[in-house]
A and B are shown apart, each in its own frame.
Chain A
Amino acid sequence: MTSLIAENLAYSYSRQGQLALDNVSIELRSGTLTALVGPNGAGKSSLLRLLQGQSQPNKGQIRIDGEPLMNVRDQVALMPQRSSINWSFPITVEGLVSLGRVNSSKTTCCELEAALQRVGIPELAKRRLDSLSGGQQQRALLAKTLIRPAKIFLLDEPCASLDPLAREKFLIIVRQLADSGLILFVSSHDWGKSLYTYDRVVALNKTILASGTPQQVLEKLFSIGSMGNHCCG
């Protein structure tokens, strides 16, 4: 049973700059699908980068099964935002997925096939990345993340710019991955009905506004009226 515990995290982009995150504590456990919601500039991507070890917190600590994050960084994999990928790069889906391993030459065909199977696109392995739909591209990117031997997967706005059907399909895959015992922490702008797909929800706006089941979080947000009733996908 893997667990990730972050306590009292604070983070700023520069030493004397404003805090992008303040007093953030979360706990993620095996087999749970957790949403991280918040408006633009709430610090969602910053939090995911801290949890992956790409950035260091100014304060606080992150532990996985009691071990400091930096000792077990390979346990965590981050799927970046769509905008950080050069989708017109000349590469096939299998080429992209094999890059998920630090040393891509070590990726075996079985691992590749398994990763593509898990996201439901084995038939697209030889297709060029820019010939895929947005939803297929996101699944390919998820397969690239899944090929890492990690137990904790952080997904940065994977459903942004997907149409409702593609978003639904994507969330089904993510649900299945969580049910297989992995930890999935998914950032999103969407706090509409799709929030009920998740086991737990963390609402963030530089600090934690609410956390709990989708119902609990929505009720709390409604009562404090801090995030409005947005749904921008």
Chain B
Amino acid sequence: MSLLNSNWWIIPLFITFFSGIICPAMGTILITHKRLLQVNLISHCVMPGLALAVALGVDASLGGVVSGLLGALLTESLTNKKNENYEAVMNTILAGSLGLGLLLIPFLGIRIDLEAVLFGDLLTANIGDLLRTLIAFLVFISLTIFGYDKLVHVGLDPEGAEANGIKVSFLNLLLGFTTALVIVSSMSAVGVILVIALLSMPTLWGLQKARTLWAAMARSSIFGVGISLLGFVLAMIFNLAPGPLISVLCVASLGFPLVNSQ
């Protein structure tokens, strides 16, 4: 413990490292399942839950996960069978949830550092933030180890998977839960909004030439860790906010996989 106290950068470094692994790996699963838009939705839907959790005095991340998942479930329940209205419903709920979260803060008389929640505040991260990231890491690893075959089958051929007895709706619910957990756990590292970049960009690199979902996730994570650590170090050197810097680095690296895929 004394080591952590005297070396303030150790916790932020570990959070950056683990977020750099799980965000791109989660993004790889979501993009292969054509569910990456859900990240946008969940990341905005965590706000009301965060506000309520703070008001009730429970762990903010718990509220965030529940509220993010409820937003995703509400969207799916309001979407018609052919998915024609999904984007419209999703964007409405996404904006509405963010608005509700912002309204709840003065209504409940609580104080939330909105800038830190939305865009991250790595340098004030504590042991609780690290534990949240580790829990998300363990849940994600468990999902991929125990559900790998199902993830592959559903991502490749959802109808065939259903016909083979795989409970696709339940798997999608688990994916939603794990996504919400990953987003909330990355709150301190890059914030719930900027995490979208870390879930998306490394995936483009990871998917190239990967012959299995495992390989794609591993490649995405390697790139994600690299870009996260680079962002962290540059932020320390130039005294910049790490979250926004990591997001900008993701955009700057976007050209690499796109050129490579030509």
Contacts and interface: CB of A to CB of B under 8 A. Distances in A.
A, B from the same assembly: yes
Nearest to A104: B149
Interface string A12-37: 00000000000000000000000000
A91 B156 contact: yes
Interface in A57-115: 78, 80, 84-86, 88-92, 95-96, 99, 102, 104-105
A17 to B, nearest CB: 12
Nearest to B160: A80
Contacts of B165: 102
Interface of B: 32, 34, 149, 152-153, 155-160, 163-165, 207, 209-213, 215-216
**4 shortest interchain CB distances as A-B pairs:** A90-B210, A90-B216, A89-B156, A84-B159
Given A90-B207, A90-B215, A95-B211, A85 B163 contact: no
B158 A99 contact: no
Interface of A: 52, 54, 78, 80, 84-86, 88-92, 95-96, 99, 102, 104-105, 126, 128
A85 B160 CA distance: 9
B159 A99 contact: no
Contact of A86 (B32, B149, B209, B212): B32
Contact of B212 (A54, A84, A88, A90): A90
Given A104-B149, A105-B149, A92 B211 contact: yes
Contacts of B211: 90-92, 95, 126, 128
B154 to A, nearest CB: 10
Nearest to A145: B160
Contacts of A92: 211-212
Contact of B157 (A54, A86, A102, A105): A86
Nearest to A94: B211
Contacts of A95: 152, 211-212
Nearest to B34: A86
B157 A99 contact: yes
Given A52-B163, A78-B163, A91 B157 contact: no
